[in-house]
Structures are given as structure tokens and as C-alpha cells.
Amino acid sequence: MFLRERPTLRAAAPIAVCVAAFLLVTLVQFGETRSILLAGSIQSSDHLDRTLLYANGTNYSLGDGVMLSMVRIPAGEFEMGSRNAGNGIIGIDEGPLHHVAITHDFEMSQFEITRAVFGRVMGWGRLDGGADKPVTGIDFDHICLFCNKLSERFGLQKCYSGSGQNVVCDFSANGFRLPTEAEWEYACRAGTTSLYCTGDDAFGKCERGRPAFLVCVGWFKNNSNGRIHSVGELAPNAFGLYDMHGNAWEMCWDFYDEHYYASSPAKDPRGPEKGTQRVVRGGCYQSNREDCRSASRGWIWPGRNGKTVGFRVVRTASK
């Protein structure tokens, strides 16, 4: 596994980011438990008011009180990568900054997949180390197997076939899968263009309903006390997603290529067709703040079970 540690990032000027409070309402209809996440507006880092159209989703019951909560992310466009890529501080793999359109709504798991959820779906029983902590140390093939088993459980089409370097993803299927790197960054940013979904500053006082600093939303080297934490202990981003920064690195579908952004499609990029490593995003509880940035990229050998690497799932939303 290789999770690149970057040199210290120079502090940027403070940028005002206001994130509205979220209200989670649970409804039961036709035997299905649904969660509706009511979102207010955010002020993005370009100082333009933006209103999130919706962030409703679905709760999938796995039995014995174990629940997989999904948040619906609306289609949209964003600037992917870093403006200062290759400047000696930020790696060249984060550039060039480029415009990307996500043309479909999708659902993303509100939390990193926990040990309770993974054990329940895989039939492995209760995993040691805390049911509500992210499951880590799972290789790529077993993550794909988990996604397929989860899809089958709810009568959805499986996305994955094959194994190892020959895994194929059917993006037209309606089942669960890993996010593409573009879907992940779009969901992480949640309308912002700053270093983190909260702004450009890592440290400051956290106020309820106004998570303006990295320490308010992510567990990393400076606040984790050297341990992984249960999911959802800190504030969510403006889409209602928890732990997008820090706690556990998150596996993405894409093969890693440091030069991919130069030729990336403008719509729904899915990464290189071939490769040897897979992209991981978000940083972990051991990471420096710079590796927790929204644009920061890392990679891992897919056959390795990285001890700090977890994942979350998505599925393309029905129209």
C-alpha cells in the first residue's frame, strides 16, 4: 500500500463557509423505512449562495438493528482537482484543475461502511473492535463481493463481475458499487471549492450547525488521539455525509494514474481503463491535514488489505 504523505501545506486566507443544520426525518411507507434529510443553504467558497435541491435517501435494514443509511446526491458540476497542482507543495496528480459534470443523481452511504454492516452482509458475524467503527483492512475483491451481496440482498442488479485486475463494473446496473473518484470528490466538496468542505482552515472553534474547520468534521493526526473513531461522531458536510475527511481512507473504483486529469472526460469520468493501483481518498486518523483535503489523492495496491483503508458505497439513483 502507498498512501502518499505530502509536505506541509501553506495556509490560505480564511474563507467564510456557512453550513446549515440538517434535520433527519424518518418515514415508514409500504414496509420501507425512508430517511429524508432536509438541507438549508450553504455559502460556497466563491461567496455565492447556493441552495441544495434535496438530500433525501433510503435506509436499508439489515436486521438486528443494523442499518445502512444512504443519502441522495443531486447531479451537478464542479471543479475537480487543485489549482496549484505541481507547485512543489501539492502533487502533480491533482492537476490540472478541470470542470466535471456528474450527470446523474446517486445515493451514497451516509457513513463509512461499519464493521457491523460489513459483518452482517458478508455473514461473518460480529467483527471485533467496535461495531460502529469503519471496517478497514478489506481488499478490493472482498469489497466488490460485499457490494454484490448487498445488491442481491435487496433484489438489485449486481454491478461487479470478474476478480483482481479483471474486475468489471456495470455502471448501468442499479445495485451497490464503489464511488468513482469524481463522484467521491463531488460528494465531499458538497458545493465548496475550498481545501476542505468547511473552508481552508483546519483549526478553530466548532459551533453547532456551523462546522467551519477541518477539526469539526474529520478525525486526523491532530485530533484523533491515534485511533479510529466510531462513524458520525463529528459534524456532516452540506450533503449530510459524515467522515468524508479523515477517520479511514476510502477506496474508489478508479485505477490510479497521476496524469489522468489531463485527459479525463468532462462528464462522469470513471478513471483509466487499465492500471495496477486503485485510488483512495479522504485521509485517515493518522493523516496530516493536507492529506485530508477534498482534492488529495492516494493509492493502494488492490490486493493489499490496508489497515487504515475503508470504503463507502453508492448506487445510481432511479430517475
> Tens digits of per-residue pLDDT, 22-66?
333 222 222 333 333 333 322 233 322 223 333 478 999 999 899
pLDDT digits (tens, 9 = 90+) for 175-197: 999 999 999 999 999 999 999 99
Residue carrying C-alpha cell 411507507 = 29
In a domain, 306, yes or no: yes
Amino acid identity of residue 189, one-letter, is: R
Query: What is the structure's pLDDT at 126?
Result: 66
Nearest Cα residue to 79 out of 97, 59, 102: 97
pLDDT band at residue 240, thresholds of 50, 70 and 90? very high
Cell numbers describing residue 167: 474486475
Domain membership flag for residue 11: no
At 16 the pLDDT is 28
Side chain identity at residue 50, one-letter code? R
Residue 170 reports pLDDT greater than 80: yes
Tell me the pLDDT tens digit for each residue of 54-98: 347 899 999 989 999 999 999 999 999 999 898 877 889 999 999
Tens of pLDDT, residues 271-300? 999 999 999 999 999 999 999 999 999 999
Distance CA 249, CA 298 (A): 9
Q: Which domain holds residue 244?
A: 18-316
Domain count, the chain: 1
In a domain, 194, yes or no: yes
In a domain, 174, yes or no: yes
Q: 0.75 exceeded by the pTM?
A: yes
Question: SS3 for 34?
Answer: strand
pLDDT of residue 124: 83
239, part of any domain: yes
